[in-house]
Structure 1
Amino acid sequence: MTASFTRRVLCAGIAGLFAGAPLLAAAQSPAANFPNKPIRIVVAASPGGTSDILARTIGQKMTEKWNQPVVVESKPGADSNVGADYVAKSPNDGYTLLLLDVSTLTMGPSLYPKLSYNPRADFAPVTTIVFSPHALTAFGGLPANNLKELIAYSKAHPGKLNFASSSNATRLAAARLNLATGMDMQVVPYKGGAQAMTAIAGGESNLTMASLLSTIPHLKNGRIKAIAVASERRMQAEPNIPTLQESGVRDFVTGSHQGLLAPAGTPPDIVKKLNAVVVEILRSPEVSAKLVGQGAEVVADTPEQFGTFLREETDKWSRVVKEANVKIE
């Protein structure tokens, strides 16, 4: 055997090893066999609200696509911080996910300086699911049917209007609306949007703001009426509801950005796989049309885009909380 023949054999063997390396890496990737057991989507709010509706819609489609059960589990409490803390401390293997109004993460650090988890560091963003503007709604028996009448009623009855708040976002929206209109709404906290709506329907509270997506089902029985929607333009799902801007409140756009996250340290390949399937579900004609008809706008962005959004929103709301001097009692 010549020296040149030996060198050719060695080179060919080494080349073969390197050629097989990508296949070996793929086989060893954590995402290769993901998912091979049930997935849990933890909703950081009570059943019946926006997050719950979205989790069940997405979970059902994920089950169909992956042939693995996707279980929705509600963990409400402490302005959604109970559920967020639970997922932050869960195994980072992609099998426990968090779905919530992202105001918990972006406003929480300014409102709750001593959180038991780190909103910036403890999560791996997967995707922003939807944006649904807040709808300002009132008890059906309240003698005010538009914003002008509501402001007049508030001034005629100082300190009498109370506002059912179910999230950081709605609490700050109420504070902004008080400042913008001169109203004096007293904020009363509730565990979730469903409880706030029940309080409005029964006359226990006068007003609330919740995502249009979770509001629409409650407008049909007449016990709750819509005053305005906090979007730039009227929404396709409810074109008869005027915007707050039309009603005289300039530059007032607020709402619910719902997001899906995994615990920090979840392998990037698994995060990408989760993102791909959820984006595919959200952009499908069936789901997209359903969500638009319910009062939401599909976002379905990348993990990187979602991460940038969270950072920017956290910085923005930190300034708002300081300027408005908002404090949690």
Structure 2
Amino acid sequence: MRQIFLGLLRPLRPLRLLGRRTIRVMAAVAALMLAPAGVLAAYPSQPIHLITAFAAGSASDIVARLIGERLQRAMGQSVIVENKPGGSGQLAADYVARAAPDGYTIMLATNTTHSSNPFLFKSLRYDPVADFTPLVQVCNFPFVLVVSGKLPVTNVPALLAYGKQRRGSLNYAYGNSTGQISAASFDRLAGLEAAAIPYKSTPQAMTDIIGDRATFMFIDLASAAPQIKAGSLRALAVSTEKRSALAPDLPTVSEALGKPGFDLAAWVGIFGPAKMPEAVSQKLADALYAIVSAADIQQKLTEMGAEPTPARADEFGRFVVRQKSVWGEKVKQAGIEPE
């Protein structure tokens, strides 16, 4: 094996001409290829960093901490959840894509980073398929249309009437691509002509909705549920094609507008960087699948407003490829031009 690896290195250009990331990845792969089987069997031997693309308090952060605590027990090693919000998840995704593929840096990602961003931005520093190793699919998040509890609006028709009286002065907030695409699609169908206000994260956007500094937003039910219960937010509709079992009294957007075809929900899954050694990725994938398939974890996900969708790495990988096309079409239908 040593001779084979050294043979592969001979045709390469001198190391001084290679980028730092390339050198780090080569070093990690070399170490794993040259290591005895016992070293791989001993993985993990140091803390695992679970990166999330959004801020503390967001739905993905809540899920990451739930899974991270259980993964720590399963792997017998510390799991550190790190929030790296910014650029609609680009900061976190780029960070993980460039990390050494040794199993110590993984990412809890969403359709924002891996399905929508390729169509919302003219260029990305990462490829959502080629630069990652799928490990497990976790859950879906239905989104709800919300307004401030202070706003004199109790349903979608009332929001439309409110908007008609104030045409040109309404706006919508968003902290991720699902919120952006949902709100843009709704605005287009409803003819509100609301202005878009981007935020670094969902909690920041939600704060301005509660304070009546923005008119409406689409937010995952998990993040919004406590504020809806407290009356700070008022939920008007769900973004999915059918009513959600998590909020059965809320109409769908399609029902409320009388226009079929509105169907938007966020997916969540876990990836590592590309080119992870199979022994390492398989060990991680097996542990993660056991965690997200456990009855108590699924119950906790449901209680927080998620719909469990556990799937193994190979199935999840095919799902990600399909979803890239699906969300590309959704962005187009929403009339959003890439930045």
Of 148, 159, 173, the match for 2:157: 148
Instruction: Decide which of 263, 271, 274 is 1:253's aligned counterpart.
Output: 263
Partner SS, residue 137 of structure 1: strand
* Among candidates 136, 151, 159, match of residue 127 of structure 1: 136
How many equivalent residue pairs? 304
TM-score norm. by structure 2 comes to 0.84
- Partners of 1:191 and 1:284 in 2: how far apart? 33
Indicate yes or no: 2:316 matched with 1:301.
no
- CA distance in 2 between partners of 1:245 and 1:322 (Å): 19
Relative to the length of structure 1, the TM-score reads: 0.87
Cα distance in structure 2, aligned partners of 1:236 and 1:93: 40
Any idea what the Cα deviations from partners look like across 1:56-89, whole Å, max 9, x if unmatched? Answer: 0000011122221100001110111001111111
Residue aligning to 2:112: 103
Q: Note the aligned Cα RMSD (angstroms).
A: 1.9
Residue 49 of structure 1: aligned partner = 58
Residue in 2 that maps onto 1:11 = none
Kindly indicate which of the two structures has a greater share of residues assigned to helix: 2
Residue ranges of structure 2 left out of the alignment (5+ in a row)? 1-35
Taking the aligned partners of 1:310 and 1:29, their CA distance within structure 2 comes to: 33
Query: Residues 90-118 of structure 1, C-alpha deviation per residue, up to 9 Å, x if partnerless?
Result: 11011101112222221111221221122
- Report the Cα distance in structure 2 between the residues aligned to 1:255 and 1:322, rounded to whole angstroms: 16
Give the secondary structure class of the aligned counterpart of 1:115: coil
Q: Name 2:11's counterpart in structure 1.
A: none
Q: Quick check: 1:137–1:226 contact (8 Å CA) kept in 2?
A: yes
| Counterpart secondary structure, 2:200 | coil
- Residues 114-193 of structure 1 mapped to structure 2, 5 A cutoff: 114-193=123-202
Give the one of 291, 296, 311 matched to 2:321.
311
Q: Unaligned regions of 5+ residues in structure 1, if any?
A: 1-26
Paired letter, 1:135: V
2:249 pairs, out of 240, 247, 260, with 240
Percent identity over paired residues: 34
Give the stretch that moved more between structures: 145-154 or 28-37. 28-37
Distance 1:139 1:64 in 2: 40
* Aligned-partner Cα distance in 1 for 2:229–2:156: 20
- CA change 1:206–1:31 in 2 (3 A) is farther
Kindly provide the amino acid, as one letter, of the partner of residue 129 in structure 1.
V
Q: How does 1:44-83 map to 2 (within 5 A)?
A: 44-83=53-92
1:223 to 2:232 alignment: yes
> Helix, strand or coil: the match of 1:131?
strand
The separation in 2 between residues aligned to 1:241 and 1:256, in whole angstroms, is 18
Deviation at 1:243, TM superposition (A): 2.1
Note closer, same or farther for the CA distance 1:229–1:111 as it changes in structure 2 (3 Å cut): same
1:172 to partner: Cα distance: 1.3
Residue type of the alignment partner of 2:277: P
Q: Deviation string for 1:147-196 (max 9, x for gaps)?
A: 11111111221122211111122211112112222222211001111111
Q: Provide closer, same or farther for how the CA distance between residues 185 and 29 of structure 1 changes in structure 2, counting only shifts above 3 A.
A: farther
Against the structure 1 CA distance between its residues 251 and 66, is the aligned structure 2 distance closer, same or farther, given a 3 Å change threshold?
same
Q: Larger Cα Rg: Structure 1 or Structure 2? A: 1
Deviations 1:11-59 (A, max 9, x none): xxxxxxxxxxxxxxxx727752222211000111111001100000000
* AA partner of residue 205 (structure 2): A
CA distance in 2, matches of 1:73, 1:167: 18
Change (3 A) 1:100 1:283: same
- Structure 1 stretch displaced more, 112-121 or 123-132: 112-121
For residues 55 and 221 of structure 1, the distance between their equivalents in structure 2, rounded to whole angstroms, comes to: 25
**Counterparts in 2 of 1:38 and 1:231: CA distance versus 1, 3 Å:** same
Q: What is the CA–CA distance in structure 1 between the aligned matches of 2:171 and 2:333, rounded to whole Å? A: 23
CA distance 1:38–1:304, shift in 2 (3 Å)? same
**AA partner of residue 131 (structure 1):** N
Q: Distance in 2 between matches of 1:164 and 1:323?
A: 19
Q: Return the offset for 1:323.
A: 4.8
